[in-house]
Amino acid sequence: MLTLSQVNKRYSTGDHALVGIDLNLPRGQVMALIGPSGAGKSTLIRCVNRLVEASSGSIRLEGTELTQLSGGQLRKARRAMGMIFQEYALVERLTVMENVLSGRLGYVGFWRSFLRRYTQKDIAEAFRLLERVGLSHALDKRADALSGGQRQRVGIARALIQQPNLLLVDEPTASLDPKTSRLIMRLIRELCNERQLAAIINIHDVALAQQFADRIVGLRAGKIVFDGTPQELDAQALTTIYGEEEWDSRLNAEAGEKPPTDLQVLRPLYLTTGEAL
């Protein structure tokens, strides 16, 4: 569904943020990007939706070459890419409902959105999504009155109301406590399963990446140095990505508990699908 071929990003300073990135992301796959600060994780995500322009290479979404689009074509392509930001990117003075409906801006046009004239279908979908993310009780609250976890849930609902095929998620747990971080990652994972959404999640928490992603890609100095399953991400692979560290003990400490069993990892899927484990 999403294919990156030899994507490079070089800044005017001469620094290389991305070097020869080749990736293929199929529909429905949740991929975690991990790596040290400055490895190029956020740059990669932002090159996909062209908040940052790649210096060279090809980025194709469902057969469309994104790097060659401009104007209305680019705006239309961005509808298929829901972005969830680390700092939430909400309009503080607007209500929860208004922030979610702002995800329809790419469909309704400037004046209708300025006058807040959304269709009944859009409003009904916003109600449904807010109920799904557990915020139906906070429809009329201003965004600046919400907790960090609640703000992130609004951001998730806003991204989903675009009806995207791809989620781009930039450090969704960076400002959250461990319990809320797990709840947010579980919610993203469940929603991707329900809607068969592909997702790229830039995340620093390795333990969360292992628990909730189908695939992990490790970046170091703008290059892919690991691409495999969570089970393949062992101490040797982590050393390649981050450098020397006592990884076994560190992962247990980050998780704050014993490593999850297969049943614990699959439980969110059971709650969504109702299938017996």
Read off the pLDDT of residues 17-37 as tens digits, 9 standing for 90 and up: 999 999 999 999 999 999 999
Q: What CA dihedral angle connects 145, 149, 155 and 157, to 10 degrees?
A: -100
Euclidean distance between CA atoms 162 and 15, whole angstroms: 34
Confidence (pLDDT) at 69: 94
Euclidean distance between CA atoms 174 and 195, whole angstroms: 25
Euclidean distance between CA atoms 174 and 147, whole angstroms: 14
Q: What number of residues does the chain have? A: 277
Neighbouring-strand partners of residue 60: 3, 65
Neighbouring-strand partners of residue 199: 30, 167
Type of residue found at 163: Q
Confidence (pLDDT) at 263: 39
* More confident of the two residues 92 and 111: 92
Beta strand segments in the chain, E: 2-10, 16-25, 30-34, 56-61, 64-65, 81-84, 166-170, 198-202, 215-220, 223-228
The mean per-residue pLDDT over the stretch 125-134 comes to 94
Pairing mode, strands 215-220 and 56-61: unpaired
Pick from 120, 115, 111, 102: nearest CA to 161: 102
Give yes or no for residue 38 having a pLDDT over 50: yes
Percent of the chain with pLDDT over 70: 85
Confidence (pLDDT) at 246: 61
Euclidean distance between CA atoms 123 and 191, whole angstroms: 19
Confidence (pLDDT) at 179: 92
The values of phi and psi at residue 18, to 5°, are: -135, 140
Q: If pLDDT is split at 50, 70 and 90, which confidence band does 257 have?
A: very low
Confidence (pLDDT) at 14: 87
Confidence (pLDDT) at 66: 96
Pick from 177, 201, 164: nearest CA to 32: 201
Q: If pLDDT is split at 50, 70 and 90, which confidence band does 244 have?
A: confident
**Predicted TM-score of the model (pTM):** 0.84
Euclidean distance between CA atoms 203 and 73, whole angstroms: 30
Give yes or no for residue 271 having a pLDDT over 50: no
The mean per-residue pLDDT over the stretch 51-57 comes to 96
* More confident of the two residues 178 and 112: 178
Confidence (pLDDT) at 112: 60
Q: How does the average pLDDT of the chain come out, rounded? A: 86
